[in-house]
Chain A
Amino acid sequence: MYYIDLAVTGVSFGCMYAMMSVGLTLVYGLLRILHVAHAAVFALGAYVVVLVANATGSIALGFLAAVIVTPLFGIAIYRLLYEPLLRYRPDVPMIASVGLLVLMQDAFRIMFGEQGVTFRQNALSFTTFDFHGVTISAVQIALIVTAAVVFAGLHLFTTRTRTGLGWRATVSRPKIAASFGVDPVKVRYLNFAIGSALAAVAGGLVALLNNLVDPSIGFVVSYKALAIIVLGGLGSVRGTLVASLVLGLVEAYGTIFIGAWLDRDAIAFLALIVLLMIRPQGFTGARTA
């Protein structure tokens, strides 16, 4: 049972990482910018969920508000921060992005307090199900189901719909796509909107799991998600998904062998270094959106 418990934990870690990293991958694939401020979008999502949920008494409304607010915020980041800097070298927008992240973290601290915000009612994080000795919490189920739906949806969207095809075309061949009438700016907006909404959902779920949203909630995203997209082969959604799941499982099973000496993050980064030595190009060489 222990190994299955760990598998459940690993997969739920993986789903969480996948949802927080996919926005980064999308932005990198399209604009070649390391969108570090994505961590701030994630944190914003978590704050919106907890604040709206506490104000209205409905966690569902919290998530609804978050997927409305964060895409607008993501688009604003593109329009106001990245677009004016696109003409410069890619490290310029990246530095601006780091600046925005630091600013947002302190803004959260000043506005909502150092102590963080907890859910007034969070039955979800204290509800667990027992399947013949394997314990799964309601939030873990929510994480796994949401990630499955999101990635299946994303796949259908990019292979079956006109907009999705246009998006994918813009990522791989921007000029040809434009000549076929795909508006590259619209694609960018769409990109930031979807990536931000997914980060917000992940942020909200992590908030439920921790029962705490503090200014440092975006930390994990800021370093681990960057590692994941490198491992996933920069810009590939499929690679990101695979890398996230691998990392989640490595962290979970790593606890058995080296958990006494190394924490989860150290195990993850050790694995990352080893994997990149074996496959410097990441899991997938090909770029798809």
Chain B
Amino acid sequence: MLIRNRRLSALAAGSLSSLAGLVVLATFAASPARADVKIGFQAPLTGPAATDGKSAQIAAGMAVEDINAAGGVLGQKVQLVTYDDQAKSDQAIFTANKLIGEDGVKLVVNGSYSASGRAAAPVFQKAGVVMIAAYGVHPDITRAGDYMFRLVHLGPPQGAATALYIGKTLGLKKISTITMDNDYGQATMDGFIEAAPKYGVEVVNKYSYSLKDRQFGSIVASVKRDNPDGVYATGYFFTGGPLVAQLRAAGITVPIIGSQAFDSEKFIEIAGPAAEGTYIIDSFDRDRKDEALQKFFTEFKQRAGYAPEGVAAITYSAVRLMADGIKRANSAEPDKVRDALAATKDFPLLEGNMNGFNSLHEMIMPIQVNEIKGGKFTPAGSITDLNAFAPPEK
């Protein structure tokens, strides 16, 4: 009994260490053998956020290859140093310290969620390391200091833009709101609720759900009773998909407006025919006639086996922007790169041109809306009134 027992635990330990070995191998294999400018990269590669982390990792790898194929920066190759932060704050701080101490990295792209970006930001700020948060939406990330940049609209501005779109463009009056109760879901909904009265939008009832939840029966029954003109929900595609399917199955036919993280082909796959007519705010225009975007789409699909979502596109752009900052600074010194990034004007992201950064290093850019039509993301206008969703300044 004991012997078998030991064998079992040895087996378990063996498979664990070989797994760890694989991860290390993969990290090394992904980076070229000799490279000079190191860019640190954090993403959740295991755990519940691994879906997005994997996409971000593939996209970041593609960006580095494209940069190096075009001659690298400052006559040197770019090397990505990747760590798994599991979208957890403790892991983010641990890997941030590793990047600074062991790898000597001065420039970082954070391809992770708010929880870890928010934890890593002060660590990098203190060490004078430049960080671009690709899609972490918590306000504290840029508040950590002047070495921090963000390439995604903050939650509250996204929510404010949504109120404008629902009130003015769609002309809906009575809205039921469904909030995912994490940082991102709540911050975005707060912005919506604050801005809604300005556009004649009345919030009939508010509901909230947990990130782990996929069964919305009681919320669906309540929304049915509310009988609103539309439903606004914050969430990710893996919560939004089942939510929209269940709302539609209950015979709720009013427009459903979803937040940015609904943006994934998988959303359409999960919600099936129910996805039809869902609006996604701050979604990206996949059909834009842009060579870089179309090339990215084709290549990402080949590598990942699925179409890229917003997370992949913005992570790719974040790495490209970092390289562009190095070029414009004509140096990989973090102070100079920081100043060059702060002075960014009309940089072409895969989503379109960004105007630049404000004083808090928040991105300034119009917000794109998509509607699901015929099972595809179809552009449904963009929200260009930048003042209506201006991010906070310093």
Q: Which residues of A contact B (CB under 8 A)?
A: 1-2, 5-6, 8-10, 12-13, 16, 80-81, 84-85, 87, 99, 103, 106, 109, 113-116, 118, 122, 125-128, 130, 135, 137, 140, 206, 209-212, 214-217, 219-220, 251-256, 259-266
Contact = CB atoms under 8 A, between A and B. Distances in A.
B112 to A, nearest CB: 14
B328 interface: no
Given A118-B266, A135-B251, A254-B218, 19 more contacts: A2-B225, A5-B221, A9-B217, A84-B1, A109-B50, A114-B54, A115-B51, A115-B266, A126-B249, A128-B251, A137-B246, A212-B238, A214-B238, A217-B214, A255-B222, A259-B208, A263-B208, A265-B212, A265-B213
A219 B210 CA distance: 12
A264 B274 contact: no
A9 B250 CA distance: 11
15 contacts: A84-B4, A118-B269, A126-B272, A128-B251, A135-B249, A137-B250, A209-B246, A211-B242, A215-B50, A216-B212, A219-B212, A252-B221, A255-B207, A264-B209, A266-B210
Interface of B: 1-2, 4-5, 8, 12, 19, 46, 48, 50-51, 53-54, 181, 205-210, 212-215, 217-222, 224-225, 238, 241-242, 245-246, 248-251, 266, 269-274, 305-306
B221 A6 contact: yes
B208 A260 contact: yes
B8 A128 contact: no
A178 to B, nearest CB: 20
Contact of B5 (A85, A261, A263): A85
B251 A264 contact: no
A263 B213 contact: yes
Nearest to B224: A5
A77 to B, nearest CB: 12
A263 B249 contact: no
A255 B215 CA distance: 13
Chain A at the B interface: SS class:
helix
Contact of A126 (B220, B245, B306): B245
Contacts of A211: 241-242, 245, 270-272
Contact of A212 (B5, B241, B251): B241
A80 B305 CA distance: 36
Nearest to A114: B51
B224 A2 contact: yes
B208 A99 contact: no
The winner among A13, A84, A114, A126 for most chain B CB atoms within 10 A is A114
A80 B241 contact: no
A115 B237 CA distance: 10
B241 to A, nearest CB: 6
A212 B221 contact: no
Given A2-B225, A5-B224, A214-B238, A264 B1 contact: no
Contacts of B250: 128, 135, 137
A99 B221 contact: no
Nearest to B15: A103
Contacts of A261: 208
A253 B221 CA distance: 10
Nearest to A265: B210
A149 B373 CA distance: 42
A266 B207 CA distance: 13
B273 to A, nearest CB: 7
A289 B306 CA distance: 47
Nearest to A119: B272
B215 A210 contact: yes
The winner among A9, A206, A217, A266 for most chain B CB atoms within 10 A is A9
The winner among B5, B214, B251, B272 for most chain A CB atoms within 10 A is B214
A216 B251 contact: no
A154 to B, nearest CB: 24
Given A255-B219, A260-B208, A115 B213 contact: no
A125 B269 contact: no
A116 B238 contact: yes
Given A114-B54, A212-B214, A263 B222 contact: no
B54 A259 contact: no
A262 B272 CA distance: 29
B359 to A, nearest CB: 35
Contact of B222 (A99, A128, A259): A259
Given A130-B251, A135-B250, A214-B238, A263 B209 contact: yes
Nearest to A85: B5
B214 A264 contact: no
B225 A106 contact: no
Contact of B245 (A2, A125, A140, A251): A125
B207 A260 contact: yes
Contacts of B274: 126
A214 B274 CA distance: 20
A126 to B, nearest CB: 6
A134 B382 CA distance: 39
B69 to A, nearest CB: 28
A255 B272 contact: no
A12 B306 CA distance: 34
B53 to A, nearest CB: 8
A263 B238 contact: no
A118 B248 CA distance: 18
A115 B306 contact: yes
A259 B214 contact: no
A188 to B, nearest CB: 16
A109 to B, nearest CB: 6
Given A128-B249, A211-B272, A80 B218 contact: no
Contacts of A209: 214-215, 242, 246
B279 to A, nearest CB: 20
B270 A10 contact: no
Contacts of A115: 51, 266, 306
The winner among B206, B212, B266 for most chain A CB atoms within 10 A is B212
